[in-house]
Amino acid sequence: MNSENAVFFSRVLTELTLTFHIIYATIGVGVPLMIMIAQWLGIKKNDEHYILLARRLARGFVITVAVGVVTGTAIGLQLSLLWPNFMQLAGNVIALPLFMETFAFFFEAIFLGIYLYTWDRFENQKKHLLLLIPVAIGASMSAVFITIVNAFMNAPRGFDVVNGQLVNIQPILAMLNPAMPTKVGHVLVTAYMTSAFVLAAIAAYRILKGSNHPYHQKSLFLFMKLGLIFSLAALLIGDFSAKYLVKYQPEKLAAAEWHFETGKNASLILFGVTDGENVKYAIKVPYALSVLAHNNPFAKVTGLNEFPKEETPPLYIHYLFDTMVLIGMFMIVLSAVYVFGMNRNWKFISSKWFRWLMVAGGPLTIIALEAGWWLAEVGRQPWILYKYMKVADAATTSEHVDLMLILFCILYIILGIGSVVVLRRMFIRNPIEQEIADRHAERSGDVR
Amino acid sequence: MNLEILGISVLWLFLFGYVIIGSIDFGAGFFNAYSLLTGRQHILTHIIQRYLSPVWEITNVFLVFFFVGIVGFFPKTAFYYGTTLLIPVSIGIILLAIRGSYYAFESYGSRGHKGYSFMYGASGLMIPAALSVVLTISEGGFVSLQNGKPVLDYWSLFTNTFTWSIVVLAISAVLFISAVFLTWYADKANDVGATSLLRKYAMIWAGPLAISVIGIMVELRKHNPEHFHRMINVWYLFAISAIMFIITVLFIWKRRNYGIALALLIGQFAFAFYAYGVSHYPYLLYPYLTLYDSFTNEAMATALVVVFILGFCLLIPSLYLVLKLFLFDKDYVKGKEKGHV
């Protein structure tokens, strides 16, 4: 296998690992917050259903966290195994957030273990709630730090290159790079949003399958409401991200929007196909790209033709951009209609077809999540370290990456199937009705 | 003390932490599978589950901490070890992944899956074998530079007796550490059956451990004389370790002072581990990479040390809390509380 192949297989393996990992990682970031909110509502409203919701969420969370942890370990090591040249360089500048991420992860792991195994040890539920705070903080902080590493790859700074050597390294400045605020913000709120919509989808599904327990109704309403809040935040921060791109990485936005010629009054392109120059079958929204880029319908937007061909990302990222934005918009509308409909007693929101839409919302949000990450990552091709190091120069020279790719493929199939089977079994064998009955039986047993 | 030494000492400490708690974990999986095979699982399973469940995730973090830390403090290791270790470490990751996630699947999802328990036990022995290859490679002789790129010679690695003596050491150490720890834990739980079974395992695995250590000394003398002589220079550290080992075995044999035996166990491994590390100095990968030419820049090193200290202020109390709740809490250890979510 020559080194070109090694680069290709390294890219595929990294993409495969991350694509698989981010599903579990995103749930791992969002769900602790959901558990915390449920537990807090349960205490505040003195409502057993919310406490049970927290408990059941925590139980399922263990399974997703396990897969998240092991695949996270995999990508952590793969960074060095597949991209040794990049890690050697980046280790000099960006080791700090990587190191901090491990601390956040450590902190979360410790308190998650305690939370799970002290369920009935504290008389006072508030004490138990306190244990969740470090879990949620640890989960979110590890997302923050690891996203900072990714932001650095998009906007490297905090060092100077003199004669090929890195000098004047400033770790903090490298962390506080210009891509950091929008990246971190978008990753966090979309993680919360994804978790909320996935959990809402489960609740909607249970209702559709005939369980009309108030538990599911409450949980559906709670998660749709949270989903609405976080998807609005995602929209806002997504808009900031576009403005960031205009300023710092214009070729990414231009490629995502198939905006070839620099010009004023730029229109936004929805759907369509392109041969690299002309765009066919697209819906053009006049002035919208100028608005997106500069908040001004008449502003000039730099086109893709301004950049050297070998430094522009592939044009298919347009489809990823469309997918992400469309699903995001759809989820905002869907959750808004549901939440307002609940307040005004609209009938159709309890109809079957509307509930199926909410069920679809779960997987759709995950698709948007993947599309968004692919857009962000493929959009900075050919760079691994924007303007400093190309992907082709960073990969390993080892000859066995293709074999490893096959092994990891098998691993992810096993983990994916295993986690779904176990989660399904866990909740189907012990539906909420059963759990409430058991709980009451146990309580009366105590009295006797 | 300069920052290089501080950096490697801290990382070595974390690797040591992983060796101890990872061994307990790997060994526990093996003993569980073995007891299943011999129809004695009712004796061991509860004790093992009660210890492993709350700490299973923490164990993994020690490993992550080590490999993130080493790339942070010594970025060049990413280049040398990253390029050469693709296969052994990838296999290690895959085994760890299957083991870790299926542990969670079984303990929280569906209990009592037999085939899974065997896989769990077997992988627990294969992981230390896969990861201990790193130690072998660090001694030099298996990696050569071709066109400025490090290349690992798999054939000479696999046909070398030194490699295999390290593997034997890793496996017997895992089983010995685990058995001693679990003997103590079972004794705390007043579980007579489990204590005597685990005590037997500890006695069985003490022998191979001692023999493989001697074997390694012989092999190392041949393979890397420089390192061997540095080890001889700190012979007294190894002597302390050996004395601690003998007392541990003695206590276990006499069925008393399991707590002190456990402390001595940790002591003997700490001494041996640090003596090995000190004598490896200054090489990270003999003879290409030393501590000094791979060290990160000063600004990053200072930042890492500061974060490290702050992080520790957070972790030590938290770890103490875990120990207090699950290791030193009598009711929990005896299984009187069923606290799982």
CA distance A37 to chain B (A): 17
Query: Residue A124 phi/psi, 5° resolution?
Result: -90, 115
Q: Which of B54, B74, B93 shows the shortest C-beta gap to A114?
A: B54
User: A69, B315: Cβ pair inside 8 Å?
Assistant: no
Token pair recorded at residue A96 = 């700090």
> Which residue is it, tokens 């017997």?
B172
Q: What is the least distance, in Å, from the CA of B128 to any CA of chain A? A: 16
CA gap B276, B270 in Å, rounded: 10
What does the pLDDT look like over B25-74, one tens digit per residue?
888 888 888 888 887 777 787 888 778 777 878 888 888 888 888 888 88
Name the residue among B296, B318, B341 with its Cβ closest to that of A55. B341
C-alpha A326 chain-centroid distance: 16
According to the model, what pLDDT value does residue A16 have? Answer: 93
* Residue of B57, B70, B337 to mutate, testing the A interface (most A Cβ within 10 Å of its Cβ): B57
CA distances from A31 to A37, A121, A132, B101 (A): 10, 23, 11, 18
What are A286's two structure tokens? Answer: 């006049």
pLDDT in tens, A190-202: 999 999 999 999 9
- Are β-strands A383-385 and A389-390 bridged in parallel, bridged antiparallel, or unpaired? antiparallel
Which residues are CB-neighbours of A136 under 8 A, at least 6 positions away? A32, A33, A35, A36
Chain A residue with minimum CA distance to B72: A95
CB contact under 8 A, A103 and B67: no
Which ipTM did the prediction report?
A: 0.83
- CB < 8 Å to B103, chain A: 66
* Comparison of pLDDT for A266 and A343, the residue scoring more: A343
The reported pLDDT for the residue numbered B340 is 66
Tell me how far CA of residue A321 lies from CA of A283, A326, A331, in angstroms. 14, 8, 16
Nearest CA distance, B244 vs chain A (angstrom):
31
Which one of A80, A106, A113 has the shortest CB-CB distance to B71?
Answer: A80
Chain B residue whose CA is closest to A134: B318
Give the whole-angstrom CA distance, residue B38 versus residue B306: 51
Torsion sign across C-alpha atoms A38, A62, A76, B305: positive
Flag whether pLDDT at A128 surpasses 70.
yes
* Rounded Cα–Cα distance for residues A282 and B251 (Å): 80
Task: Give chain A's end-to-end CA distance (angstroms, integer).
Answer: 73
How large is the average pLDDT for residues B295-317? 83
How far is residue A346's CA from residue A353's CA, in Å, rounded to a whole number?
14
pLDDT for A445: 61
Q: What is the DSSP letter of A263?
A: B
Q: Which helix (H) or strand (E) holds B143?
A: strand B143-146
Work out the minimum CA distance from B297 to partner chain A, whole angstroms.
Answer: 7
Q: Where are the alpha helices (DSSP H) in chain B?
A: 3-37, 41-73, 76-84, 86-104, 114-138, 154-158, 161-188, 192-223, 225-233, 235-253, 258-280, 298-326, 330-333
What is the token pair recorded at A78? 């793969």
Dihedral angle over CA of A343, A348, A351, A352, nearest 10: -120
For residue A408, the chain B residue with the least C-alpha distance is: B94
Name chain B contacts of A28, Cβ cutoff 8 Å.
none
Q: Which amino acid type is present at position A373?
A: W
pLDDT higher at B318 or A40 = A40
Judging contacts by C-beta atoms under 8 Å, the chain B residues touching residue A174 are: none
- Highest mean pLDDT: which range of A303-317, A330-344, A387-401, B57-71: A330-344
Could you tell me the end-to-end alpha-carbon distance of chain B, in angstroms, rounded to an integer? 47
Q: Number of residue pairs across A and B with CB atoms under 8 Å?
A: 235
Q: What percent of chain B has pLDDT over 70?
A: 96
Least CB-CB distance to A63: which of B56, B96, B108? B108
Residue A33 has pLDDT above 90, yes or no: yes
Does position A21 have pLDDT exceeding 90, yes or no?
Answer: yes
Q: Do A95 and B296 touch (CB under 8 A)?
A: yes
At B201, the amino acid letter reads Y
What is the percent of chain A where pLDDT is above 90?
Answer: 31
**A334 confidence band (pLDDT: 50, 70, 90):** very high
What residues contact residue B329 under an 8 Å CB cut-off, 6+ apart?
A: none
Closest chain B C-alpha to A363 CA, distance in angstroms: 22
CB A61 within 8 A of CB A31: yes
DSSP annotation of B228: H
DSSP state of B256: -
Is the pLDDT at A1 greater than 60? The verdict is: no
Q: List CB contacts (< 8 A) between A21 and chain B.
A: none
Q: Residue A211: exposed, middle, or buried by beta-carbon count in 10 A (0-12, 13-18, 19+)?
A: middle
Quote the CA–CA distance of B86 and B152 in Å, as a whole number.
10
Are the Cβ atoms of A407 and B94 closer than 8 angstroms? yes
Choose among B68, B77, B98: nearest Cβ to A98: B68
Taking the CA of residue A204 and the nearest CA in chain B, the distance in Å comes to 23
Residue A295 pLDDT > 80: no
Taking only the tens place, the pLDDT of each residue in B218-272 is 888 888 888 888 888 888 998 999 899 999 888 888 888 888 989 999 999 999 8
Question: What is d(CA B74, CA B293) in angstroms, rounded to the nearest whole number?
Answer: 9
CA distance A113 to chain B (A): 5
Amino acid (one-letter) located at A344: R
Q: What is the pLDDT of residue A251?
A: 86
- Mean pLDDT of all residues in chain A? 86
Are the beta carbons of A33 and A141 closer than 8 angstroms?
no
Nearest CA in chain A to B77: A88
CA dihedral over A387, A390, A391, A396, signed as positive or negative: negative
The DSSP H or E segment spanning A105 is helix A84-117
Q: Name the percent of chain A in helix, strand, coil, to the closest 5.
A: 75, 5, 20
